[in-house]
Amino acid sequence: MYVDGAELIQHVSVVKNKVVVLRCPVQGIPSPNVTWFKDGRAIEPNERIRLLMSGRHLELSMAQETDTAWYTCAADNVAGSAKIEFNLTVTGIDIRHIPYLHFTKIKYPVAKKRNIINK
Protein backbone atom coordinates (compact mmCIF):
# COMPACT_ATOMS: atom_id res chain seq x y z
CA MET A 1 0.00 0.00 0.00
CA TYR A 2 1.21 3.50 -0.69
CA VAL A 3 0.18 7.13 -0.58
CA ASP A 4 -0.02 8.48 -4.12
CA GLY A 5 2.27 11.51 -4.42
CA ALA A 6 1.03 13.39 -1.38
CA GLU A 7 2.81 15.19 1.42
CA LEU A 8 2.35 13.32 4.67
CA ILE A 9 1.36 16.57 6.39
CA GLN A 10 -0.79 19.07 4.54
CA HIS A 11 -1.86 22.53 5.66
CA VAL A 12 -5.33 23.46 4.44
CA SER A 13 -7.22 26.71 4.92
CA VAL A 14 -10.89 27.37 4.18
CA VAL A 15 -13.25 30.29 4.71
CA LYS A 16 -16.12 29.87 7.16
CA ASN A 17 -19.36 28.53 5.61
CA LYS A 18 -17.53 27.15 2.56
CA VAL A 19 -17.01 23.50 1.56
CA VAL A 20 -13.65 21.83 2.03
CA VAL A 21 -12.65 18.36 0.82
CA LEU A 22 -9.66 16.57 2.31
CA ARG A 23 -8.29 13.94 -0.08
CA CYS A 24 -6.52 10.79 1.06
CA PRO A 25 -4.91 9.32 -2.09
CA VAL A 26 -4.06 5.86 -0.74
CA GLN A 27 -3.91 2.84 -3.00
CA GLY A 28 -3.39 -0.83 -2.40
CA ILE A 29 -4.39 -4.39 -3.18
CA PRO A 30 -6.65 -5.32 -1.58
CA SER A 31 -8.30 -1.93 -1.37
CA PRO A 32 -7.38 -0.34 1.98
CA ASN A 33 -9.84 0.42 4.76
CA VAL A 34 -9.85 4.16 5.42
CA THR A 35 -10.68 5.77 8.76
CA TRP A 36 -10.73 9.52 9.43
CA PHE A 37 -9.88 11.15 12.76
CA LYS A 38 -10.28 14.69 14.10
CA ASP A 39 -7.73 15.48 16.79
CA GLY A 40 -7.30 11.74 17.38
CA ARG A 41 -11.01 10.85 17.64
CA ALA A 42 -12.80 8.83 14.96
CA ILE A 43 -15.14 10.93 12.80
CA GLU A 44 -18.76 9.93 12.43
CA PRO A 45 -20.44 11.22 9.25
CA ASN A 46 -23.47 13.48 9.74
CA GLU A 47 -25.44 16.09 7.78
CA ARG A 48 -22.32 18.31 7.43
CA ILE A 49 -19.60 15.66 7.24
CA ARG A 50 -19.58 13.13 4.41
CA LEU A 51 -17.19 10.38 3.39
CA LEU A 52 -16.89 10.04 -0.38
CA MET A 53 -14.90 7.86 -2.78
CA SER A 54 -14.89 4.80 -0.48
CA GLY A 55 -13.78 7.00 2.41
CA ARG A 56 -10.84 8.52 0.57
CA HIS A 57 -12.43 11.99 0.57
CA LEU A 58 -13.72 13.77 3.68
CA GLU A 59 -16.13 16.60 2.83
CA LEU A 60 -16.99 19.27 5.38
CA SER A 61 -19.83 21.51 4.25
CA MET A 62 -20.52 24.86 5.90
CA ALA A 63 -17.08 24.85 7.56
CA GLN A 64 -17.06 26.40 11.03
CA GLU A 65 -14.22 27.68 13.23
CA THR A 66 -14.85 24.64 15.45
CA ASP A 67 -13.72 22.48 12.49
CA THR A 68 -10.20 23.90 12.86
CA ALA A 69 -8.19 20.85 13.93
CA TRP A 70 -5.76 18.13 12.92
CA TYR A 71 -7.41 15.54 10.66
CA THR A 72 -5.83 12.18 10.01
CA CYS A 73 -6.61 9.75 7.23
CA ALA A 74 -5.49 6.28 8.32
CA ALA A 75 -5.53 3.46 5.77
CA ASP A 76 -4.67 -0.18 6.24
CA ASN A 77 -4.84 -3.55 4.52
CA VAL A 78 -2.94 -6.85 4.82
CA ALA A 79 0.11 -5.21 3.21
CA GLY A 80 0.47 -2.52 5.89
CA SER A 81 -0.76 0.90 6.86
CA ALA A 82 -0.32 4.54 5.88
CA LYS A 83 -1.56 7.88 7.11
CA ILE A 84 -1.77 11.51 6.05
CA GLU A 85 -2.35 14.39 8.44
CA PHE A 86 -4.14 17.62 7.58
CA ASN A 87 -3.84 20.80 9.61
CA LEU A 88 -7.19 22.45 8.77
CA THR A 89 -7.75 26.11 9.58
CA VAL A 90 -11.17 27.73 9.16
CA THR A 91 -11.00 31.50 8.92
CA GLY A 92 -13.94 33.65 9.94
CA ILE A 93 -13.78 36.29 7.22
CA ASP A 94 -14.16 35.96 3.50
CA ILE A 95 -12.28 38.99 2.26
CA ARG A 96 -14.13 38.83 -1.04
CA HIS A 97 -17.33 39.88 0.73
CA ILE A 98 -16.11 42.64 3.03
CA PRO A 99 -18.02 45.88 2.40
CA TYR A 100 -15.81 48.68 1.24
CA LEU A 101 -15.97 52.26 0.06
CA HIS A 102 -14.33 53.45 -3.08
CA PHE A 103 -13.46 57.10 -3.34
CA THR A 104 -13.44 58.66 -6.76
CA LYS A 105 -11.66 61.91 -7.33
CA ILE A 106 -14.19 64.38 -8.60
CA LYS A 107 -12.94 67.26 -10.70
CA TYR A 108 -14.83 70.46 -10.18
CA PRO A 109 -14.63 73.13 -12.85
CA VAL A 110 -12.28 75.87 -11.79
CA ALA A 111 -13.65 79.37 -12.11
CA LYS A 112 -11.58 81.61 -14.27
CA LYS A 113 -9.82 84.32 -12.38
CA ARG A 114 -11.01 87.78 -13.17
CA ASN A 115 -8.94 90.79 -12.80
CA ILE A 116 -11.03 93.20 -10.89
CA ILE A 117 -9.67 96.63 -10.88
CA ASN A 118 -11.04 98.99 -8.31
CA LYS A 119 -11.40 102.45 -9.75
The amino acid sitting at 30 is P
**pLDDT tens sequence across 18-42:** 999 999 988 889 999 999 999 999 9
Q: What is the pLDDT of residue 77?
A: 93
CATH 1.25.40.10 fits 2-97, yes or no: no
Q: Measured between alpha carbons, how far is residue 6 from residues 21, 26, 97, 104 in Å?
A: 15, 9, 32, 48
Residue 119 CB neighbours (<10 A): 2
Q: What is the pLDDT of residue 50?
A: 97
**pLDDT tens sequence across 55-108:** 999 999 999 999 999 999 999 999 988 899 999 999 986 555 555 555 555 565
The residue ranges of every structural domain in the chain are 2-97
